[in-house]
Structure 1
Amino acid sequence: MNWLKQLSGTWQKNQLQRPELVSMFDKPHAKQWVAIDCEMTGLNPKKHHLLSVAAIHINDNTIDTGNGMHLVCRPPVMPDRDTIVIHGLRTADVEHGMGYDEMLALLLPFIDNRPIVGLCTQLDIGFLNPMVKRYMGTTLPNQIIDVRQLYSRRMGDRTQGIPHQSQRLTNILAHYGIPEMGAHDAYNDAIMTAMAFLHLRSQL
C-alpha cells in the first residue's frame, strides 16, 4: 500500500500549478500537525459556500494559539437568516471578507506539509478540496486525521450504535474535562479540536 500512496503523491505533485507550494508534498516533520475548522452556509459543497476557516499549529504538546489563522471569506451568495443561527456569521461579517484565492494564498503555506487534524474532516475537506484544486491544480496532499475516529478507536465498543451522539465535539471535550470555548466559531472550534487531539493522538 505504501507504493500506491507514493505513486498517488507523485501524480499529485506533477499536477501542481503553483511551484511555491511544492513543500506541501515533503514528508512531514514528526509531532507537527495543523488543526483546522471551517464554517459554511450548509453541508452540501455543491450548493453551499465556505464562510470562514481557522488553522492552528500543534507542535508536540503545544498548541500555538499565538500564531493561529482565522480567515473570513466573501461567499458568492450571502448567508440567509436560517443559516446565521448555525454559523453566527451575518452578511455584515462576510461581505468585506477575502476572496477564496486570497484565502488559499494564506492558508496553504500555513498548512504546508503538516497532517491536518479536524472534526468532521470529510465535510471540511469536501469544501476545501474543490477550490484547492482550482487554485493549485491538485487537491490537498496532506494526511487527514479525524478526531472523531480517534475517539471511537479509544472508546471501542462503547461508541457502537450511537456514533453521531457519542462522537460530537462537546461529548469528547466533556470526557476529557476540556472547557468549551463557544461553538460555531471556527477559531474556537479549531483550538478545542486541537486540545482533544492531544488527548487522543496515541490512537494514531
Structure 2
Amino acid sequence: MTDVYNLGFLKDTIGETIVSTYDVDGHPNAAPMGIAVKSNEQLIIRPFMSSLTYKNLQTKRCAVVNVTSNPELFYRTAFKDANPDGNLSAELVEKAETVDAPRLRAADATVEVSVAETGSFSPERAEVLCNVQLVTASKALPKVYCRAQFATIEAIIHATRIKPFLMGDEQEQERALRLMELVEICRDIVDRTAPNSRYSEIMADLTQKIHLWRKESEGLR
C-alpha cells in the first residue's frame, strides 16, 4: 500500500507540492505549497493567513496535496493569469474520493487530508496539522532528469514571493532582489539546457512579470 514516505516525503524536509481546495461556493483553488511531515499519518501545511488556501482550509477543513514534477502545473496554479480565462480551469481538477476537495487530474500522486488542528507558525503564516485520509499514485514511467524542468519549478516558487516582497519595507525589498538573482540563475540553466522549449517560454513570462512588478513597486515609492 502506498504511503507518504513512498512518495518521497521525509521528516525534517520540505516537499514542494500543490495544495488544492474548494471555496464555500465550490470553486476550485490550487497553489504551490511546501509540505512538512509529522508522521506517516499526518502532514503539516503552513499557508499564509492572507491566502485563499488558508481560508478554504478553515471553512472546508480538508484539502488534497498533489505531488508532481510538471512545471506547467506549478505555473498555472501559482499564476492564475496563465490560464486561458485567468482562473484555474475546472478541466484541471476532479473531485477527491474521501474529502470535499479537488485533486489535479495530471498529478503523479495525491494525498487527501482532513484538518486536525490549526495554529500559528509565524505572524504571517498558520500551521495546519492534517490527517492523511487516502494516498494514491499513478503508475507513470520513470523520466530522464532534465535540469531545465526543475530549474523552472524553482523559479516559479521564487517568483511567487517576489511581488509581495517588492511592495514591502526595505528589508523585504532586499529579499526580493536576492530572489530575482536566483530566478536569473534558473533562467540561465533553462536557456542552456532547453532553449525553445515550454520551459523557456515560462521563464520568459516570469521575467516579464518580474519587470512589471519592479515598475509597479518603483511607482509606489
Output the TM-score relative to the length of structure 2: 0.27
Q: Which has the higher strand share?
A: 2
Larger RCO (CA under 8 A, 6+ residues apart): 1
Output the TM-score relative to the length of structure 1: 0.28
Q: Which has the higher helix share?
A: 1
